[in-house]
């Protein structure tokens, strides 16, 4: 039976979908959000950003307790890992935050419909409710698809989430593997590889390309690999995994040079497949309603998130652009505001990316490679954390800040940071870029002393004046 018409039905309750639902409700729309997982927050809160950051933090504390405290004059005897308690803590964090979204839905009067949504036609979403709830029809003026993404499979390798895992299984391993082989040196491989290395695993990362973190500024990526190697991670670059034999006690992974050559076998206990994610549109009924996908399976949208079918919109991981929670959230907000008649826009050049290892790696705007390719003349200002007094005080001196500014106008075009709190430091540059700041603007802004932020100011000085003070 048809229900009272909604202004907006959002399919998917991840960071894109739940933010769009709340924003639309705040702007006076009658909104429902359909989520099949049984818990709000999507990939990010349930099996992505949040549990991985909880484990990164816990494993960092463990590593500090084992190896890092001596230099501060603190002796800790008999440090012991209680993996079960560490995983329980992570689960508690996830539960608290996902329930928090349910509370926000109630507060903002968003109807939360638990079940799998399918678009029957423009204006009609059919929800197969979980359990024996049966089907329910939601009539609506607009539909927003925010169904996110899913793990990209590796041909010839079957993920069982026990010995051969995706990021989801890697968040819940029952014991620390002796040897973890990670396929893919991207965000997930390096973050989750770091977690298990800190907890005691030998970690080998196999990457198809001849570098790690493709897309990241090349100089930063090189430094990142050097630091990770120093921490104990091994890399096999320019190498591909062609199969995993799980018939024996240990997994036998066959690898061969990406460019072709003799195969070899690596024995390990756990394989983490982290070669990217793909848009998730299964069972949505897109073919029937005629919503167009691009050649990578992403829903095609215009600048206002409209698909080719009137009244149907899409945001987040399921459309083009970086697969990041904050990008999805931004799109959710802006899409709701546009439906309400407002005219905001997103500057896709100013979306930060952060890898939450120690040191963190953060970037925003253009890389040197992109500027060269576009033929834009630019200046580079660099400053190492080794010369920053706060980094020296706390003993986190690896890495540097690099600011790229246009040669002629001095306008900041990009920034790349590897170092302590890089994810926090990049925010100041994001705001500066939003306001069209020059590197001189940052250099002349008084930064508190002694802070890591002073490394940003000094890098800006290097770009604006050719020289920082403390180097
Ligand atoms: P999703 O979060 O994927 O949500 C989509 C939701 O739609 C899902 O809950 C799904 O169950 C639901 N759904 C799908 N189909 C239907 C249907 N037919 N009916 C009802 N519901 C449906 N990003 C960051 O910015 N920072 C990080 O630190 C970070 N860490 C990550 C760590 C890991 C291990 C992973 C895997 C990802 C991480 N990401 C991170 C990426 C981030 O999780 C995604 O970019 C973000 O979740 C995308 O949001 P979304 O709303 O588009 O989709
Ligand atoms: P990714 O795209 O970051 O990295 C995948 C890596 O695998 C690349 O280096 C690629 O060259 C390599 N690769 C591809 N095919 C391969 C093969 N057959 N053999 C060996 N290597 C291969 O993807 P990842 O790490 O799976 O993460 C997916 C997405 O999730 C990220 O792109 C990011 O958008 C998001 N994410 C964000 C995080 C953050 O913001 N901190 C953390 C984790 C995930």
ipTM for this prediction: 0.99
Instruction: Specify if 1 maps to a domain.
Output: no
Residues 189 and 324 in one domain: no
**345 is an active site residue:** no
Residues 62 and 175 in one domain: no
Instruction: Specify if 157 maps to a domain.
Output: no
206: Cβ below 6 Å to ligand 2?
A: yes
CA distances in angstroms from 144 to 21, 102, 106, 331, listed in the order given: 9, 19, 20, 11
Residues 116 and 11 in one domain: yes
For atom 34 of ligand 2, which residue has the closest CA?
A: 323
- Residue 180: which domain range? 164-275
328: Cβ below 6 Å to ligand 2?
A: no
* pLDDT tens-place string over residues 365-411: 999 999 999 999 999 999 999 999 999 999 999 999 999 999 999 99
Instruction: Specify if 443 maps to a domain.
Output: yes
CATH number of the CATH domain containing 212 = 3.50.50.60
Going from the Cα of 360 to the center of ligand 2, the distance in angstroms, rounded, reads 16
Residues 269 and 293 in one domain: no
Ligand 2, from 148, 186, 238, 274: best to mutate by most atoms within 8 Å of Cβ? 186
Q: How many residues appear in the chain?
A: 471
User: Mean pLDDT, the chain, as a whole number?
Assistant: 97
Structural domain count of the chain: 3
Residues 78 and 173 in one domain: no
Residues 219 and 253 in one domain: yes
Residues 18 and 139 in one domain: yes
pTM beyond 0.95, yes or no: yes
Residues 47 and 121 in one domain: yes
Per-residue confidence (pLDDT) for residue 10, from 0 to 100: 98
For residues 452 and 390, the answer to whether their CB atoms sit within 8 Å is: yes
**Of residues 67, 72, 304, 449, which has the active-site annotation?**
449
Percent of the chain with pLDDT over 70: 99
Per-residue confidence (pLDDT) for residue 130, from 0 to 100: 79
Residues 424 and 325 in one domain: no
Residues 68 and 119 in one domain: yes
* pLDDT tens-place string over residues 83-110: 999 999 999 999 999 999 999 999 999 9
């Amino acid at each position: 039976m048809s229900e009272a018409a909604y202004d907006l039905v959002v399919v998917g309750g991840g960071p894109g979908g739940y933010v769009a639902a709340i924003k639309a409700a705040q702007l006076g729309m009658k909104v429902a959000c359909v989520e099949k997982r049984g818990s709000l927050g999507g990939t990010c809160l349930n099996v992505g950003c949040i549990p991985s950051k909880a484990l990164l933090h816990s494993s960092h504390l463990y590593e500090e307790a084992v190896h890092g405290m001596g230099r501060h004059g603190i002796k800790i005897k008999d440090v012991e890992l209680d993996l079960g308690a560490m995983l329980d803590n992570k689960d508690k964090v996830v539960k608290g935050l996902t329930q928090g979204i349910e509370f926000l839905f109630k507060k903002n009067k968003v109807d939360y419909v638990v079940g799998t949504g399918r678009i029957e036609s423009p204006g009609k979403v059919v929800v197969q409710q979980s359990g024996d709830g049966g089907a329910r029809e939601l009539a609506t003026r607009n539909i927003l698809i925010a169904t996110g993404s899913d793990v990209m499979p590796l041909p010839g390798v079957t993920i069982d989430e026990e010995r051969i895992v995706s990021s989801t299984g890697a968040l819940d391993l029952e014991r620390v593997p002796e040897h973890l082989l990670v396929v893919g040196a991207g965000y997930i491989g390096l973050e989750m590889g770091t977690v298990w290395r800190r907890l005691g695993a030998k970690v080998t990362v196999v990457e198809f390309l001849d570098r790690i973190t493709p897309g990241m500024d090349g100089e930063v990526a090189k430094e990142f690999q050097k630091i990770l190697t120093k921490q104990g991670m091994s890399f096999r670059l320019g190498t591909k995994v062609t199969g995993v034999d799980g018939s024996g006690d240990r997994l036998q992974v066959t690898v061969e040079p990406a460019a072709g050559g003799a195969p070899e076998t690596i024995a390990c206990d756990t394989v983490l497949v982290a070669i990217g994610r793909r848009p998730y549109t299964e069972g949505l009924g897109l073919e029937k309603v005629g919503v167009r996908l691009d050649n990578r399976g992403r829903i095609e949208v215009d600048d206002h998130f409209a698909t080719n079918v009137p009244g149907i919109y899409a945001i987040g991981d399921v459309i083009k652009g970086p697969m990041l929670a904050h990008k999805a959230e931004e799109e959710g907000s802006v899409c709701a505001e546009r439906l309400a008649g407002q005219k905001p826009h997103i500057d896709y050049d100013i979306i930060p990316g952060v890898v939450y290892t120690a040191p963190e790696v953060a970037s925003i705007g253009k890389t040197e490679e992109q500027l060269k390719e576009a033929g834009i003349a630019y200046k580079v200002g660099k400053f190492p954390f080794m010369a920053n007094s706060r980094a020296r005080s706390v003993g986190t001196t690896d890495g540097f800040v690099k600011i790229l500014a246009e040669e002629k106008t001095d306008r900041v075009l990009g920034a790349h940071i590897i170092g302590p709190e890089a994810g926090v430091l990049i925010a100041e540059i994001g705001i500066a870029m939003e306001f069209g700041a020059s590197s001189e603007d940052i250099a002349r802004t008084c930064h508190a002393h002694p802070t890591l932020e002073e490394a940003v100011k000094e890098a800006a000085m290097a770009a604006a004046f050719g020289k920082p003070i403390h180097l």
